[in-house]
Amino acid sequence: MNVLENYKKIINSIRNISSNASLIVACKNQTMDSIKILLDYGHVHFAENRVQEAKIKWSNFNAKNIQLHFIGGLQSNKAEQAFQIFNYIHSLDTEKLAKTFSNLEAASKKKINYFVQVNIGDEYQKNGINISEVSNFVNYCIKDLKLNILGLMCLPPVSQNPESYFLKLKQLNISNKLKELSMGMSNDFETAVKCGSTFVRVGSAIFK
């Protein structure tokens, strides 16, 4: 496993397509020994999809420039822990969760960044706001709850070509006047960047 070599290949692939896309290294099930290779190289954006795993791995790590992203499904009872650990939440998808984060921000000096997860393929088994409800939810989060909504996030259907779903999310993003897009993983990040993604979430292609 040559983590740094894999990382450099992915960075180069992204940069060959766009100068506006950032790589988030997804660290699910990885040890800090593996992650430290990229920390030492100077990478700053890392992601976890389990709050408890992130707490164990990152709670004693004190690098001010590191940006931690939460990219998994999040229940409101885990929101307070997530709020303490992460700088970005990519899976905001319910009014209850949004209210919880708004209350946490109001009770502290900390502000974090959010992506609204959209169920872009209308799949019953996946989390995310329905496409028809996106505009109302985004407006509610920004205007009523004062949350810093950067953009939209999606997980396209696994068995289908993701391009049409990425383009659909891009149009939703534009119509809601949002600037960032969180889409693309190890198997489709190049397609996502071509479709306008500004944050891709890649793990297995790096730690293989």
pLDDT at position 62 is 67
For residue 7, give Cα distances in angstroms to 14, 39, 43, 88, 119.
Answer: 11, 12, 10, 21, 29
Burial 15-27 (b: 16+ CB within 10 A, else e): eebeeebbbbbbb
Domain-embedded: residue 25: yes
Q: Which domain holds residue 83?
A: 3-202
Chain centre distance of CA 149:
12
Phi, psi of 69 (to 5 degrees): -115, 135
Residues 30 and 53: their CA atoms lie apart, in Å, by: 10
pLDDT at position 63 is 66
| Cβ atoms of residues 53 and 76 within 8 Å | no
Sign of the CA dihedral with 59 first, then 64, 65, and 67 last:
positive
Q: What is the pLDDT along the chain (208 residues), one digit of tens a residue?
A: 699 999 999 999 999 999 999 999 999 999 888 999 999 999 999 999 999 999 988 887 766 789 999 999 998 899 999 999 999 999 999 999 999 999 999 999 899 999 999 999 998 888 999 999 999 999 999 999 999 999 999 999 998 999 999 999 999 999 999 999 999 999 999 999 999 999 999 999 999 8
What is the Cα Rg of the chain in Å?
16
Residue the block writes with tokens 């795993």: 53
pLDDT at position 124 is 85
Helix (H) or strand (E) holding 113: strand 113-118
Domain-embedded: residue 138: yes
What type of residue is 174? Answer: I
Domain-embedded: residue 208: no
The number of folded domains in the chain is: 1
What the block records as the tokens of 42 is: 């100077």
CATH number at residue 88: 3.20.20.10
Domain-embedded: residue 207: no
